[in-house]
Structure 1
Amino acid sequence: MTQDEVDGLVPRWQEAGMSAALIASLEISKRMSRVHMVFDQAMKAELAELGLTYAEFDVLAALARSAPPHRLKPSELSRSLFLTSGGTSNVLQRLTAAGYVERSDNPGDARSRWVQLTAEGLRVANTALDGAGRAHAEAMAGVPEPTLRRAADALRELTLALGRRGR
C-alpha cells in the first residue's frame, strides 16, 4: 500500500503510547484537513473571479437549490448551512448590497422575512455553481471514481456514527 505524509506521523503517535482508535481518529482528521485544503484552494480561485466569499457562495447556492421563486427564511439558511444567525445576517447584508438577494415580509408570519434571489443573484449563483463543479472536478482529477465512491461512503458512515454533533 502506498503511504502518505500522515503515515509518517503514525510511528511517533505509537511511541507516545496513543491507542489505535486515537491514532485512526488523528489520521482521519489530518487527511480530511488535507482534502479540505485542496477543495478550499480550488474553490477560492473560482469564487475570487466572481468576487464572492465561500459563505456568500454557500447562501447563493442554497437559495438557487430551493424551489422557485428561490427563497428561504434566514433561519432556514442558518440551519442548512451551519451558520450562526449573526453570520447569516452579515452575509445577507453583503449579498443585498451587491443586488443578489432581496428581503421581503412573510405574509404568513409577521415575525419572519423571506430572502429571495434577484435575477442577477440567480445568474451569479448558477455561474458560481458551475465554477464549483469545475473546481471539484479539477481537484479530484486523476483519482479513480471507485476510490472517490469508497471515500464518500466511508465518510457517510462516519458522519452518521457521529450523529448530529456540531449542528
Structure 2
Amino acid sequence: MTAHPDPVDALITAWRTELPEVLGPTSELSKRILVLSGELTAATRRVLHDFGWTTAEFDVLATLRRSGRPYCMKPNELSRALLLSSGGTSNVLNQLVRAGLVRREPTPLDRRSTLIVLTDQGIGLTEAAVRAVAEAHAEVFAAVPPAVLRTATRALRQLSSVRRARKKTSTRA
C-alpha cells in the first residue's frame, strides 16, 4: 500500500521550506497523532451528542462501568482515575444524579463517605454509548487494512513503553 500525499505532508513540506531547523524526528509523527486524535475526538463527540452527554459525563459513566460489579467508586477515586479536580467531578456527578444515571450511597464501612453507583438505566445507556463510540472509532479506521492497524498499535505501544520507562528513570534521578 503506497501512501498518498495528505495535509500533514503539505504541512511538513511547508515547514521544511520556512523553518527547517524546527523539524525533528518527531515532527511528522506528532502531527499525524494530533490529526488522528482530532478525528477520533470528533467521532466521539458526535455519538455523545446523540446521548446528550459531555465527554466528562461519558468518561465518568464508562469508568464506573468498566470498574466491574457493583459498578461503584468513591468520588475521589473517580477524580484520580479521570484526572479531574474534585470540584469538576462533583459538577459532573450532580448532572448524572439528576439524569438518574448514577446515585450516591453511603459507604458501608464509613458512613461519612459516599459511593457513586451506576443505576440500571446508567448501565444500559453506558453500554450502548460505549458500543456506539467503538463503532464510530472503527469507522475512522475502516479503510485501514488490519495488518496496518496491528503494526501501528504495536509501534505506539512501544513508543509509550519507552517513554514511560524513560520518565520513571528521570524522576528517580
TM-score (norm 1): 0.85
For 1:9, which of 3, 8, 11 is the aligned residue?
11
Structure ranking higher on relative contact order (CA contacts 8 Å, 6+ apart): 1
Partner of 2:107: 106
When the two chains are superposed, the root-mean-square deviation of aligned CA atoms in Å is 2.1
Partner of 2:170: none
Give the Cα separation in 2 of the matches to 1:139 and 1:11: 25
Give the Cα separation in 2 of the matches to 1:70 and 1:58: 14
Where do residues 94-133 of structure 1 align in structure 2 (5 Å cutoff)? Answer: 94-110=95-111, 112-133=113-134
Deviates more, 1:120-129 or 1:37-46: 37-46
**1:93 aligned to 2:94?**
yes
Deviation at 1:76, TM superposition (A): 1.9
Once the two structures are superposed, what CA deviation does each residue of 1:132-155 show, in whole Å capped at 9, x if it has no partner?
121111111111111111222222
- Structure 1 SS opposite 2:103: strand
Where do residues 9-158 of structure 1 align in structure 2 (5 Å cutoff)? Answer: 9-15=11-17, 16-18=19-21, 22-110=23-111, 112-158=113-159
TM-score (norm 2): 0.83
- Structure 1 SS opposite 2:92: helix
Structure 2: unaligned runs, 5 residues or longer: 168-173
Give the Cα separation in 2 of the matches to 1:75 and 1:116: 13
Give the Cα separation in 1 of the matches to 2:142 and 2:100: 35
Aligned pair count reads: 163
Identity %: 42
Once the two structures are superposed, what CA deviation does each residue of 1:88-137 show, in whole Å capped at 9, x if it has no partner?
22211111111100111223345532111011111111111111121111
Greater CA radius of gyration, 1 or 2? 2
Deviation at 1:38, TM superposition (A): 1.3
Once the two structures are superposed, what CA deviation does each residue of 1:12-37 show, in whole Å capped at 9, x if it has no partner?
43442426xx5332222211121112
Give the Cα separation in 2 of the matches to 1:48 and 1:161: 36
Moved over 6 A (4+): none
Structure 1: unaligned runs, 5 residues or longer: none
